[in-house]
Structure 1
Amino acid sequence: MNNHTLLSIDETAALIQAGKVLSLAGDESLLAQLPAGRWIAGTIPYFVDTEGGIETRDHIFVTELTAADGATVDIRSYTVDTIRHIAEDAPDNGYTIVILPAMSAIHTEFANHGRDYEQMFLKPLAGWVAGVHLSEIGKATPKVFNGLTGAMLSDQAVALHVPLPSTMTAVIHILNLFRQDPDADVITFPGDGFSATTCHVNGEPMLFADYLAARRINTRHPLVADYNGARINTSYQQVDQDSKTVKFYAPVFAGIEYRQAAPIGDYVREFDALAEGAHDGVQFSCNCILNYLYGELQGRRTGDLAGPVTFGEIAYQLLNQTLVYLDVQHHD
């Protein structure tokens, strides 16, 4: 069986009952019917399957963690007060898959402070932010599921800690179309958060919404920060000219220098090129809802990488407009 694929509820239940270790994504009504077992899940109706992008509420996207030993994996739920221990709880050699419910306090907590958690960046941590159908934002609540306990949660995170033998190593990869435009202005913000009113542009204070309007910035392209060579996107959610507030899908941070992303050519073609090639040993993959929308991925593949389409990707910290995957490499 392909270990990244859409399955019926009965096929998914059979894998759970067979003792497989799974990361799942699908409609709340389907996930709530699954038997207890070694799995975690989040809600979303969008996926990139082996046949291409698809929207469905009738199937569950199943990722079988083939390198995981069901006897040694550790499944935990985390609250706002305990999520800071997630990296400390992770195995010394192995990896962690975490799922957060979007628009929740724990989503905000992890986004704002995750990069400062003890032992973060020392152990591979990947995952995604569960969501809802885009037409139901503000009406439906994203959920995550702890398959071990059967709990359906809207205010906690779930994590699957996977120890690996010494002959294996987990590696996280971030595929990012965007890079800083070297000719763009340097933008800084006075505080951390998912929204901003004021900013400094090349050291000069101004209202950020007015700046975006005056420069006719394409907000389909994110702000990009350079974290010691790693390109981290912050994507635009909404620009409200009445309140002069700009909302983001991930927080901006005070003291970090941002530039607008450089223009790209054909979004779909460039994304396909970035994702092409053989990816052996992939245990987990996810792609951003903004890539799905702006890249017009419905019916189109992203190389051989398949997974849920998310309200945020996690590769140690919260990301936007990226594709994240984790593979397990074998060595002597």
Structure 2
Amino acid sequence: MGKKLHTKKETEKLIKEGKTLIIAGSEKLLSKLPEGNWIGGSNPYLQSPCGGLHTEELLYVKDFSDLLIDSKFKVYDKNNIHQITTDAFENGIIATIMPANSEVLKEFAINSPEFENQFLNPLLGWVSGTDFDKFGQVAPTCYKSNEKFIDKAVALHIQLPKNIVARLEILNAYEASNSSEVITFEKDGFHNTDCFVGGKKYNFYKYIEDKNIETLILVANYSGATINIGLIKNEVSKNIFFAAPVFKDFEYKFAKKRTKDYKDFFNKNIDLSNIRYSYSCLYNFFYFELEKEALGIDGLFSYGEIAYQLLNVTFVYLVLDEI
């Protein structure tokens, strides 16, 4: 199908041909697509080989038809999202899309590390959103075929041939700052008013203000993987909200400030020839100024990345190995 973005007409043709697809784009376009073998999510921030762009007129379409030997589509809410891993094929991929700020996303984000069969198959996906200027005013959407949801997750379960093994990889441009103090929190979740530093309790918003911290990203080590938590600073309410949950049993540090050299960093660490499916964080799009910055790959910039659990400020990609 090639590395390019698609028009609505081109996407309709693929759907009518019976292709098994994952689609990202504006709600305006998604709502007009026909019934078929596809899942989708609202997101106008896309990646073409020529660079990132904000568009209401093009769609990112990933075709898995030539890869699978079987597939099934599922819809999950907050009460049964834990079944997403047990519904998987024996040798497969679980591709999901979840609406930003939804209850199903919150349930997944906090409890997914404990899901049964969590690491037997690659569980990957992204968080649907809206135009950034309209976030919080317009509900993000997900689609299973032409059925729309604002409070449910959609999933495409793919069964792979026996000679193909899928794996997920994460590219993280951030690392913990050596000058950062160790920070902990008293509860799991997307919001903590207070934090603990050296055994002392501080208001988290005031701590950030007093320390004049500019890079609003926390970094932690989750079982050997460096994981980011993006922070959202509300200057009106003087609160800090997390784009992914923190956990009370982990230690966090603030990220080291980066220069805007993302393209060089990306090219040094990524082999484009072996990537089947990929997505990045909207934070990367804005901070590293990736609009019209050619990285040679197609994909999207999401409101959160899923690689077994909810991540922030990363690039996630799927690799297929033949055995």
Question: Same-fold call, TM > 0.5?
Answer: yes
Give the aligned length.
323
Match of 2:233 among 222, 234, 238: 238
Match of 1:250 among 236, 239, 244: 244
For the structure 1 residues 130 and 271, does the alpha-carbon distance in structure 2 shift closer, same or farther, using more than 3 Å as the test?
farther
Q: How far apart in 1 are the matches of 2:192 and 2:265?
A: 29
Shift of the alpha carbon at 1:274? 4.9
Give the TM-score of the pair, scaled to structure 1.
0.93
Secondary structure in 2 matching 1:5: coil
Give the TM-score of the pair, scaled to structure 2.
0.95
Contact 2:43/2:129 (<8 A) preserved:
yes
> Share of identical aligned residues, percent?
36
Q: How far apart in 1 are the matches of 2:120 and 2:178?
A: 31
Equivalent runs, 1:1-332 vs 2, <5 Å: 1-2=1-2, 4-69=3-68, 72-147=70-145, 150-220=146-216, 222-240=217-235, 243-274=237-268, 276-280=270-274, 282-302=275-295, 304-331=296-323
Q: How far apart in 1 are the matches of 2:308 and 2:268?
A: 21
Q: How far apart in 1 are the matches of 2:215 and 2:39?
A: 33
Shift of the alpha carbon at 1:320? 0.3
For the structure 1 residues 109 and 79, does the alpha-carbon distance in structure 2 shift closer, same or farther, using more than 3 Å as the test?
same
- Show CA shifts across 1:55-95 (max 9, x none): 111111111125433x6111111111111110101111111
Shift of the alpha carbon at 1:267? 3.7
Shift of the alpha carbon at 1:155? 0.5
Which structure 1 residue ranges, 4+ long, deviate > 4 Å from structure 2?
A: none
Secondary structure in 2 matching 1:80: coil
Q: How far apart in 1 are the matches of 2:251 and 2:260?
A: 27
Q: How far apart in 2 are the matches of 1:31 and 1:314?
A: 21
Q: How far apart in 1 are the matches of 2:42 and 2:243?
A: 18
Q: Which 10-residue stretch deviates more, 101-110 or 177-186?
A: 177-186
Name structure 1 gaps, 5 residues minimum: none
For the structure 1 residues 197 and 98, does the alpha-carbon distance in structure 2 shift closer, same or farther, using more than 3 Å as the test?
same
Q: How far apart in 1 are the matches of 2:47 and 2:128?
A: 15
Shift of the alpha carbon at 1:270? 4.6
**What's the RMSD between the two structures over aligned residues?**
1.6
- Show CA shifts across 1:95-125 (max 9, x none): 1110000011111111111111111122100
Secondary structure in 2 matching 1:177: coil
- Code of the residue aligned with 1:253 in structure 2: it is F
Shift of the alpha carbon at 1:244? 4.3
Contact 1:65/1:284 (<8 A) preserved:
no
